[in-house]
Structure 1
Amino acid sequence: MRLFIGIELPENIIAELHSLQNLLRKKVRRGRFPSKDNLHLTLQFLGETSERKVEDIIRSLQTVSKLNFPFKLSFNTHLGSFGHKNPVRIVWVGVKGKVAALLQLQTSIVGSMQELGFPAESRDYHPHITLARDVDFIDKDFLLDQERGEFDMGQLSCFKIDNFCLISSNVEQGKRIYNIVETFKLIETDAECKDY
């Protein structure tokens, strides 16, 4: 099984991100845009995994979920990219809000997976949602202008993170399909916390 751990996004947030993808489509000659069903926030990629290990992974992630609390995030109002040449390898939108809580959750997950033999990535974790890949912009300065605030994406909503998922990734009839294997609810505090 090809597995990763990630955060599934609320439907209204997916709709906003899909609208953002449609804005991007008007600015490019070509690019590959993930299906809106596949938009998610990755926490750790596990890769090809023996089915025998899945129960251990689930038990370990259940422990992690009991040590982390819900929190709120929203998206930055500018785009970022990996690979600045045209075509751009990946165009993404980053997160803001309670990022420290997100990083704590991700660090807990990576630590628990290391105990099961899954190595941590050598590069720092950079939370983002991939909007497009291999993007050939009509205006090669578009991203630079956008990062300077010259392209208004509008305000994206704030949303609450109260769970994360173990997700399988398969190719079916030439399309990448994600399926949730297990969902892990973050522990709620007794007192209602408006900020998370």
Structure 2
Amino acid sequence: MRAFVGFFTTKGIYEHVEKLKEETKSYLKGKWVEPQNMHMTFQFLGDISQSQAVSVLKNLQSIAEKHAPFKVQYRSLGVFPDRRRPRILWVGVSRGENRLKRLANEVAQLNKKAGIRVDAKPFHPHVTVCRIKEADRKKLGSLMNRYRNFNFGEETVDRIALISSSLTSIGPIYTVVEEFYFRRESS
């Protein structure tokens, strides 16, 4: 199974992405992420076996039991790998960034202990909104400057999931294998 650990974002962010799509149609060509597919990835696992999936699920349950729900604020636009070679357009995070980084680190540490390959690249909290095929870099840079402090919305992160990813000719199909809700804060 091809899989990753993460969570799906709420649909609220997509209203703003639709406006971006319209605004950039003359100078950015690419594959925009469908609303139901918008997510944040803590760790891409690649192809994993059934026994590895079981280990990941145990790890996620353990992580979820130790965390409370928290708010994230989506803000700003960026590209990977850089402005000279933009391939991925993403929405970043301001509020909640450290909590997301801590979660990603816990996922990586536990999965590494279980013998699952861990990406060496540092985790950068973001939601991919477009896979860029070609773009006018100057106009794209101007867009990112205009959206540097733009508020794309807020949501409560209250779960973590193992998500399978099937690549098809019409795009990826994501399926939640199992998700674990964070412990509720005591009132």
Range of TM-score over shorter length: 0.7 to 0.9
Match of 2:48 in 1: 49
Distance 1:121 1:173, change over 3 A: closer
Higher helix share: 2
How much has 1:29 moved relative to structure 2? 4.8
Mark the CA change 1:64 to 1:36 in structure 2 (over 3 Å): closer, same or farther: same
Counterparts in 2 of 1:7 and 1:30: CA distance versus 1, 3 Å:
same
Q: TM-score, normalised by structure 1?
A: 0.84
Give me the TM-score of the superposition, normalised by structure 2.
Answer: 0.88
Give the Cα separation in 2 of the matches to 1:142 and 1:34: 21
Q: Residue 154 of structure 2 corresponds to which residue in structure 1?
A: 158
CA distance 1:148–1:172, shift in 2 (3 Å): closer
Rounded to whole Å, the distance in 2 between the matches of 1:72 and 1:186 is 13
Query: What's the CA shift string for 1:80-130, capped at 9, x where partnerless?
Result: 1123236x2111111111211111111111111111112332221111111
Partner AA of 1:122 in structure 2: A
Structure 1 consecutive aligned stretches of length 4 or more whose deviation exceeds 6 Å: none
How many residue pairs get aligned? The number is: 186
- Deviation, structure 1 residue 164: 1.4
Q: Map Cα deviations across residues 121-140 of structure 1 (whole Å, 9 max, x no partner).
A: 22211111111123423x43
Q: Kindly indicate whether residue 12 of structure 2 is the aligned counterpart of residue 16 of structure 1.
A: no
Task: Give the AA of the match of 1:70.
Answer: P
Question: Which residue of structure 1 lines up, in the alignment, with residue 139 of structure 2?
Answer: 142
| CA distance in structure 2 between the aligned counterparts of 1:159 and 1:65, rounded to whole angstroms | 17
Q: Which residue of 2 aligns with 1:170?
A: 166
For 2:51 and 2:107, the matched residues in 1 are separated by: 19
Equivalent-residue separation in structure 1 for 2:26 and 2:68 (angstroms): 39
Cα pair 1:3 1:46 within 8 Å, conserved: yes
- CA RMSD in angstroms, aligned pairs only: 2.2
Unmatched runs of 5 consecutive residues or more in structure 2: none
